[in-house]
């Protein structure tokens, strides 16, 4: 027998639609829990003498306690920020022995009875404690029974709220932002204050608010460690405790004041601490709103780049973008790198060389880039740029600029400020950096978007800004990690044109990680094929296209690639046990890769007669459009999977569809062999 359930509705576009039903077995205890928490608050509200509230709160004892509470709570907040922010960063960003123990120490005051915390503080910082005598004899500081002792006690119990909130925000912040800032020449301290802190500001603000509220209401540790001295350590919670004995109504009024402050803090947080999310914004643990590019914008762009919430952004008229111009850098810098570790290869390149790095997932492409940046322990790069050995230098001093896949534009800065970031990190004045940054944005065709934030840019615009930001500091080495992967076909072609135009004048070396054969052929002077961290092929694009030495590269280029071993009868024994007849005999036992162009695969509905020596029966698995032709994916019954390319008319004549049984044939003379 099913239990009755409560039906919920939700409003979409002004209309209510049925939502999931809430089981009564869960709803009833939840309502009881809400009532359990609400009744004490209602008790305060109903028993407050509203007519005498002003008189109760304006007495000298209460006003003095309020002044002292504000002093203690803000003092505890300041001390928590000074000590807690670095601690939160350490826990979120650094691996070190005993990290779990340190995190437990941070959480301990939250579960420890406050009076026990006060006793611990006495034994640690009291006059007879571990450090108390030293503090008094060296600095003349006596903490117990003093206002400074109340600050220390409040900090002890409240700082964990700041550390936990900020650590969560830092953990949710992708390291790519900080790594990109370092590649632009920013020191770790500069990265922390200009990138990390602004991006986790919501989490820091939430933790600071909770820390202040918790310090304002601290009682047990304060009375145990600092005592209850009027005008010195008697805060509002202690005043409430005293008033309960003689003036219960006044105690209720002061309790109402503390309750109102606590509720105001929680309302101001609007779910940041609890992780609540609204219906329109996804929040990461950093507390930063992230809006999908597919969602309608919820703001209007003002002339200065500010946004006006609550109104949708009007669609702007299309603006003609300036033609990107090739830029001539000031440096001509060759590259020599010896990579060890997971990647094991040697890389040499002349100034102005663009190298496309390709390979299957896990081949070590991104690891190679991160090794050149000095950002990974998996591989080490002995890197020389020009006449300078930068192997031992930290990332921000190498002169190596990095553009990650999504660009990693700093969301709190405009396109202009993003582009000027590296120049400012290198010591340029604000005016000089902004002038140079605007020139770079103009050069890449996005100067008219200088005032916009990254969330207000399209994918192609954002990638151009990211490229301008990387090039503005005049790097000696440029690393692009799949810069066009997230773009649609039209935008990808536009950005590819922009990139090609600029790289023609770049005086350093550029490495581009890509899975797109068009990018590899159109942008690169060389193609570096990696497999398991090793170099499998390093050759010009035309050579790699004609003679790919990897099945993965051949398939990336749209070709069929069949690995096998040659026999004495002009055949190739394939890895799956099949046989392939070839026109050019190889030495028996030698290994080779048979490359078959999709156009060389013929399809038939009946077994073909005549010259084809290689025939397989199979089934059509998928048909996709490729410009004016169709690409047909086949699963053969006793042989390799094949890709054929035919005209739409041929497909119609054959009556092809998913699941159609066909024969595939390949002439021996159409097979290109690459020795492996």
pLDDT tens by residue, 152-188: 999 999 999 999 999 999 999 999 999 999 999 999 9
Tokens of 286: 């950093």
Confidence of residue 8 (pLDDT cuts 50, 70, 90): low
Distance CA 407, CA 401 (A): 12
Distance CA 327, CA 444 (A): 9
Lowest mean pLDDT among 266-270, 302-306, 357-361, 412-416: 302-306
Percent of the chain with pLDDT over 70: 87
Mean pLDDT of 372-378: 90
Q: What is the mean pLDDT of residues 122-145?
A: 89
Residue 330: strand, helix, or coil: coil
Predicted confidence at residue 306, as pLDDT, reads: 39
Query: How many residues appear in the chain?
Result: 676
How many Å apart are CA 324 and CA 501, to the nearest integer? Answer: 7
Of the spans 106-110, 320-324, 566-570, which averages the highest pLDDT? 106-110
Over range 114-137, report the average pLDDT.
90
Residue with tokens 């299309």: 318
Strands 477-481 and 509-513: parallel
* 230 or 2, greater pLDDT: 230
Are the CB atoms for 150 and 156 separated by under 8 Å? no
Predicted confidence (pLDDT) per residue in 84-125, tens digit: 999 999 999 888 999 999 999 999 999 999 999 999 999 999
Closest CA to 393 of 401, 404, 381, 402: 381
pLDDT in tens, 499-544: 888 787 788 899 999 888 878 888 889 999 998 889 988 999 888 8
End-to-end alpha-carbon separation of the chain, Å?
69
Q: Let me know: does 476 contact 400? Beta carbons within 8 Å.
A: yes
Query: Which tens digits make up the pLDDT trace of 188-207?
Result: 999 999 999 999 998 999 89
CA distance 294 to 298: 12
Question: In this predicted model, what pLDDT tens digit does every residue of 597-606 receive, in sequence order?
Answer: 888 899 999 8
User: Which residues, listed in sequence order, are joined to residue 241 by a DSSP beta bridge?
Assistant: none
If pLDDT is split at 50, 70 and 90, which confidence band does 456 have? very high
pLDDT score of 309 = 38
- Whole-number mean pLDDT of the chain? 84
Cβ pair 665, 612 in contact under 8 A: yes
In this predicted structure, what is the pLDDT of residue 67?
Answer: 92
* Mean pLDDT computed over 67-81: 94
Q: For residue 269, give the DSSP letter.
A: H
276 contacts: CB under 8 Å, gap ≥ 6: 270
With a pLDDT cut of 90, the percent of the chain lying above it is: 39
Helix (H, G, I), strand (E, B) or coil at 407: coil
- H-only helix segments in 48-94: 53-57, 60-93
The mean pLDDT of 45-50, rounded to a whole number, is 89
Q: Which of 415-419, 662-666, 671-675 shows the highest mean pLDDT?
A: 415-419
Q: What is the pLDDT of residue 310?
A: 39
Question: In the predicted model, what is the mean pLDDT of residues 551-558?
Answer: 82
**pLDDT tens digit string along 245-289?**
888 898 899 889 888 888 888 887 765 544 443 433 333 333 333
How far is the C-alpha of 148 from the C-alpha of 144, rounded, in Å?
Answer: 8
The span from the CA of 674 to the CA of 560, in Å, is: 13
Q: Considering only residues 72 and 638, tell me which one the structure prediction assigns the higher pLDDT.
A: 72
More confident residue, 260 or 638: 260
How confident is residue 319, by pLDDT bands cut at 50, 70 and 90? very low
Task: Give me the pLDDT at residue 284, please.
Answer: 38
């Amino acid at each position: 027998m099913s239990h009755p359930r409560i039906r919920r509705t939700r409003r979409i576009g002004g209309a209510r639609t049925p939502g999931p039903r809430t089981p009564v077995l869960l709803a009833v205890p939840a309502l009881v829990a809400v009532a359990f928490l609400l009744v004490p608050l209602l008790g305060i509200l109903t028993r407050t003498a509203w007519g005498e509230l002003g008189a109760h709160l304006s007495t000298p004892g209460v006003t003095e306690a309020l002044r002292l509470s504000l002093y203690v709570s803000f003092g505890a907040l300041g001390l928590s920020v000074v000590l807690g922010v670095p601690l939160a960063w350490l826990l979120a960003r650094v691996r070190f022995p005993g990290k779990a123990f340190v995190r437990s120490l941070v959480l301990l005051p939250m579960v420890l009875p406050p009076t026990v915390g006060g006793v611990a503080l006495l034994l640690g910082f009291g006059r007879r404690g571990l450090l108390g005598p030293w503090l008094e004899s060296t600095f003349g500081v006596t903490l117990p029974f003093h206002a400074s002792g109340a600050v220390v006690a409040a900090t002890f119990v409240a700082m964990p709220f700041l550390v936990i909130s900020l650590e969560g925000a830092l953990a949710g912040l992708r390291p790519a932002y900080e790594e990109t800032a370092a590649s632009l020449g920013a020191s770790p301290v500069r990265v922390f204050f200009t990138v990390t802190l602004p991006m986790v500001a919501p989490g820091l603000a939430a933790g600071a608010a909770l820390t202040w509220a918790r310090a304002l209401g601290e009682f047990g540790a304060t009375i145990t460690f600092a005592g209850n001295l009027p005008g010195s350590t008697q805060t509002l919670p202690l005043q409430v405790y005293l008033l309960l004995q003689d003036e219960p109504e006044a105690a209720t009024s002061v309790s109402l004041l503390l309750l109102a402050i606590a509720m105001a803090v929680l309302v101001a947080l609007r779910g940041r601490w609890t992780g609540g999310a609204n219906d329109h914004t996804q929040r990461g643990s950093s507390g930063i709103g992230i809006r999908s590019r597919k969602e309608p914008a919820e703001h209007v762009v003002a002339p200065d780049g500010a946004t006006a919430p609550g109104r949708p952004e009007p669609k702007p008229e299309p603006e003609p973008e300036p033609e990107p111009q090739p830029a001539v850098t000031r440096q001509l810098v060759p590259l020599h790198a010896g990579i060890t570790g997971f990647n094991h290869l040697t890389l040499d390149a002349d100034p102005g060389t663009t190298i496309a790095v390709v390979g299957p997932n896990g081949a070590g492409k991104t690891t190679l880039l991160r090794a050149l940046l000095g950002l990974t322990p998996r591989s080490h790069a002995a890197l020389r740029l020009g006449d300078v050995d930068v192997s031992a230098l930290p990332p921000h001093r190498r002169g190596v600029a990095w553009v990650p896949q999504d660009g990693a534009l700093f969301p709190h800065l405009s396109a202009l400020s993003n582009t000027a970031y590296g120049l400012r990190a290198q010591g340029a004045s604000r005016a000089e950096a902004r002038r140079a940054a605007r020139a770079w944005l103009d050069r890449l065709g996005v100067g008219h978007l200088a005032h916009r934030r990254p969330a207000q840019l399209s994918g192609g615009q954002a990638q151009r800004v990211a490229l301008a930001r990387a090039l503005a500091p005049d790097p000696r080495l440029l690393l692009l990690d799949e810069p066009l992967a997230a773009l649609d076909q039209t935008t990808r072609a536009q950005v590819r044109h922009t990139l090609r135009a600029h790289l023609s004048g770049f005086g350093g070396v550029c490495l581009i990680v890509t899975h797109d054969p068009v990018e590899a052929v159109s942008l690169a002077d060389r193609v570096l094929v990696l497999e398991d961290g090793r170099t499998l092929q390093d050759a010009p694009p035309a050579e790699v296209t004609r003679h790919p030495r990897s099945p993965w590269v051949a398939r990336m280029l749209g070709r069929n690639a069949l690995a096998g071993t040659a026999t004495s009868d002009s055949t190739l024994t394939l890895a799956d046990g099949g046989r392939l007849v070839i026109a050019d005999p190889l030495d028996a036992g030698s290994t080779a890769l048979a490359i078959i162009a999709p156009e060389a695969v013929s399809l038939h509905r009946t077994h073909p007669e005549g010259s084809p020596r290689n025939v397989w029966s199979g089934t059509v698995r998928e048909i996709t459009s490729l410009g004016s032709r169709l690409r047909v994916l086949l699963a053969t019954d006793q042989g390799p999977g094949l890709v054929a390319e035919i005209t739409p008319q041929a497909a119609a004549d054959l009556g092809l569809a998913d699941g159609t049984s066909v024969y595939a044939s390949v002439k021996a003379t159409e097979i290109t062999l690459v020795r492996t």
